[in-house]
Structure 1
Amino acid sequence: MELIEAHGLGIREFDRRVRRVRPEQWSLGTPCEKWSVRDLVGHIVQEQLWAPELLAGCTPEQVGDRFDGDTLGADPLHSWVLAAAAAREAWITPKALLRPVHLSYGKTTAVEYGWQMTADLAVHSWDLARAIGADERIDPDLAQAVLEHLEPHADEWRSAGVFGPAVPVPADADAQARLLGSTGRTP
């Protein structure tokens, strides 16, 4: 699966869950230690807000603290919809994947950045679903594509503190279970 298709699926997977969050669920805990549902959605919204800036060539220093703090406001769903639409538009812009991207840890390719964003959307879709009691199944093709990209880098991300310790899964587990296990989640 190509990145742009995978990213679109990731957006849809997260969107499907965030639209199911009921008002009383925003304060619920999630599989992400110390994050409530609101914190988790806020994290994803912030990432989407950064994407157009970074894909346009801005550095983190140029963006500054513009997206710090509460980006959800009084209507978290509306904030998500606007941020996701802007991010998606930036990703599908012609030649967006050909540009270098400046991240907090240095310069990388737009493709690498895109897979990081897509992995976050996919995995946090599961986190959000688990927290609110929604369908936890991630599109199997998306899970496979993210797993194939993420697996070679999982130890690197784990040592940076992005993932917890890997959770063992059966050898014949599906791509979703392997993806979740590799990111420190218990499927």
Structure 2
Amino acid sequence: MTIDIREAYRRTLDDFGALVHQIRPEQWENKTPCVDWDVRALVNHVVGENRWAPELLAGRSVPDLGDSLDGDLLGDDPLKAFDTSAVAAAQAAGGERSLTCVVHLSFGDVPGEEYITELFADALIHTWDLARAIGADERLDPELVEACAAWFAGAEEGYRQAGVIGEQQPVPSDTDSQTRLLASWGRRS
């Protein structure tokens, strides 16, 4: 990966956040490309990931936190909930030890760099999902798309076996990088 993953993650959170601030009141119930998620559920998911990041990067484990980050994390001010969570996640991921620490996930321990990469990829794909759901510009940052695609080439099979992504979508061979990446995550762009 040519871009520092911490920078890629921060930029992706910025892009997602810009879309969150474009959501009109009537759009929170719009369906997204994520099965069974409307816009509010999608944003809540990303806020949840953001709120887990500082805790897990600090060495806490999923059992340590229990169900404290379950349910509605947006409350009455979804914009503030996202902004606060994104700042905390970016700060935690940007820390000096963030790449080398051990992160205790539900399925096992991983290096911090892998965890941050997974957060980045999830947020990037959900940036497109949110843009699609609210009718915003769906173009993702090409540098971030390339970084995600390079990493995901080695991770795709594991994600598919775990059932956390949709089926690979067919695309013509001359398709652009973003469309190929989205198709590998089960999205039809």
Q: TM-score, normalised by structure 2?
A: 0.97
**Residue 173 (structure 1) shift:** 1.9
Contact 1:54 1:102 in 2 (8 A): yes
- 1:45-84 alignment to 2 at 5 Å? 45-84=47-86
| Residue aligning to 1:129 | 131
Tell me if 1:118 matches 2:120.
yes
Q: Distance in 2 between matches of 1:63 and 1:23?
A: 32
1:51, distance to aligned residue in structure 2 (A): 0.2
Equivalent residue in structure 1 for 2:168, among 166, 169, 180? 166
User: Would you say how many aligned residue pairs link Structure 1 and Structure 2?
Assistant: 187
CA deviation string 1:18-50 (max 9, x = no partner): 111011100110000100000000000000000
Hey, what does 1:101 align to over in structure 2? 103
Give deviations 1:72-125, integer Å, cap 9, x for gaps: 001111100000000011011112111010001010111111111000110000
* SS of residue matched to 1:96: coil
Q: Give the unaligned 5+ runs of structure 1.
A: none
Give every structure 1 segment of 4 or more consecutive aligned residues whose post-TM-superposition deviation is greater than 4 Å.
none
Q: TM-score, normalised by structure 1?
A: 0.98
2:28 aligned partner: 26
Per-residue CA deviation, residues 122-170 of structure 1 (Å, 9 max, x unaligned), is: 0000000000000000000000100110121112101111111101222
Q: Secondary structure at the match of 2:99?
A: helix
For structure 2, the residue ranges without an aligned partner over 5 or more in a row are none
RMSD: 0.8
Q: Which one of 12, 27, 52 corresponds to residue 14 of structure 2?
A: 12
Identity of aligned residues (%): 46
Deviation at 1:2, TM superposition (A): 1.7
